[in-house]
Chains A and B, each alone.
Chain A
């Protein structure tokens, strides 16, 4: 598979340059971790690749026709919908049982009838991750996906994420090198 190529990508917001002639190759079919210190434009880069921002100059190739999925920094759940409906929103072909089994694997028990607004922060996060994982996708963007999870839950969620992302294109933004390693990231791009 051809890699996703970024060539001299520039992006500024109100005269503040966030990305300055950034070039990189992102291999497809594997997990790549993007690491940079805060304010260096990791999320902006992800937003550009997701199609939510336009580049000022430079070009990106290899993204054409790819079905995207994402875990944003925020949960971005429909507050009035229960976890099952939130997950089914992005993939209506999933059965109730399939979703329930995946929820149980993520240690989400007895919350299938609760509105997202009533869930705890950790539960919401896991629903957001599950929604992204169970959607139909060619490329998955993970923007600090495990933020706010306790160590044990994080380990379990990462194991499941890792299993469902094997040999698929995943871009992981993280500050934590151990997280990148646990996610079996074969590529690490930092700037």
Chain B
């Protein structure tokens, strides 16, 4: 069974690499056909530009600037989402009170939030606020769904045996809510990067990746635009993998303790 699953996973990974290579070749061929560096640069030019950028000081500073703010917003939203979901599960009135707020945050276009935030505050920490707003309803909804779907039979067992709250949380709630939280994190990690960078492009906080993207647009520097986009994808994916791995380890450790 394990070997079959392992085989499937390797096959999937193989298909992914193959697919990526296929599209990179297509991209290279199209860029050769278009033959216009402003409209479409080739992957090789992007790599070359990236190679130049990584030796500059502002490259690392911009990554650090945006990473800190976007991830900061994500972590704050994840903590707030869990706390609010637990409160909403425990108190019906809190759940009813939060329902329209979460619906509003989900429905209002991100651009409206960005513009409002620029009117109310400075652009310096705009990405934190925007990524917080994008992540909060996802984590809240997922965690609340997870808590609501906890096996009632196990909760009854815990009630009969008078299990202390800490043990109930660790052995009953955490294992059953974790898949919901993990799936919420997977969705919202991509979302917070997209919205956070969009906020930076509009607000242009000094030293951010968004500012670099905006400058690349102004100077029609398409290779730099693509290079920064590639950086965002790589940083976002790396953080997502690391975060989910950490989450898995924490959950496993909690259950083993």
Which of under 10, 10 to 19, 20 to 34, or 35 or more describes the interface residues of A?
10 to 19
Q: Which residues 163-178 of B have a CB within 8 angstroms of A?
A: 163, 167, 171-172, 175
Neighbouring B residues of A69 by C-beta, 8 Å: 160-161
Neighbouring B residues of A89 by C-beta, 8 Å: 161, 163, 167, 171
Interface secondary structure of B, over-half rule: helix
The tally of residues in B whose CB lies under 8 Å from a CB in A reads: 14
Stretch in A26-34, A71-79, A168-176, A180-188 with 4+ CB within 8 Å of B = A71-79
Residue of chain B at shortest CB distance from A78: B171
**Any chain B CB within 8 A of the CB of A54?**
no
With contacts A81-B171, A81-B255 known, is A76 near B161, CB below 8 A? no
Contacting pair A90 B171 (CB below 8 A)? no
**Chain A positions 82 through 97: 1 when the CB is less than 8 Å from some CB of chain B, otherwise 0:** 0001000110000000
With contacts A78-B171, A78-B175 known, is A51 near B255, CB below 8 A? no
Contacting pair B175 A68 (CB below 8 A)? no
Contacting pair B160 A78 (CB below 8 A)? no
Contacting pair B157 A76 (CB below 8 A)? yes
User: In the complex, how many angstroms separate the beta carbon of A43 from the nearest chain B beta carbon?
Assistant: 12
**Any chain A CB within 8 A of the CB of B48?**
no
**Any chain A CB within 8 A of the CB of B159?**
yes
Tell which of B156, B157, B162, B171 touches A67, judged by Cβ atoms closer than 8 Å. B162
Contacting pair B156 A52 (CB below 8 A)? yes
Contacting pair A70 B160 (CB below 8 A)? yes
**Any chain B CB within 8 A of the CB of A135?**
yes
**Any chain B CB within 8 A of the CB of A57?**
no
